[in-house]
């Protein structure tokens, strides 16, 4: 049983090492086809307009393409951190827009109230 577990551990460690070694030849500026030839097909692809992400889960790498060429290669942990940062920034921008809208509505309401009170006081003075 110990021998079987040892063999399984060696195979798993070897697979992880081989997956990461695939990226030794992947560089910035390579085309999608060149990356596919060197690193194989990704486990997941995400198209974000001008940017495409190829996720290689086994190698813990994400290849970021811009206009069909490698822009950068990051670890999946970095990709998650970037995603979290983008989400937080978007939420902050959405909140800012919401606060500005609310402020504009309050200004408008305040202006309407002042106008209405002014009209009421003019009618009372007649």
What is the tens place of the pLDDT at every residue in 72-98? 888 766 666 566 566 556 666 777 777
10-69 residue pLDDT tens: 544 444 444 444 677 888 999 999 999 999 999 999 888 888 889 888 888 888 898 889
Measure the CA angle with vertex 70, ends 64 and 76; round to 5°: 30
pTM metric for this prediction: 0.48
Residue linked to tokens 């692809």: 45
H helices present in 22-66, as ranges: 32-39
**Tokens standing for residue 54:** 């190829």
């Amino acid at each position: 049983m110990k021998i079987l577990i040892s063999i399984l551990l060696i195979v798993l460690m070897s697979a992880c090492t081989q997956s990461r070694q695939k990226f030794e030849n992947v560089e910035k500026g390579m085309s999608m086809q060149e990356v596919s030839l060197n690193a194989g097909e990704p486990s997941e692809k995400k198209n974000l307009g001008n940017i495409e992400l190829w996720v290689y889960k086994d190698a813990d790498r994400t290849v970021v393409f811009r206009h069909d060429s490698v822009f950068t290669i990051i670890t999946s942990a970095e990709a998650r951190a970037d995603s979290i940062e983008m989400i937080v920034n978007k939420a902050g921008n959405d909140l800012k827009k919401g606060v500005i809208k609310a402020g504009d509505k309050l200004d408008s309401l305040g202006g309407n109230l002042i106008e209405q009170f002014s009209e009421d006081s003019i009618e009372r003075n007649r």
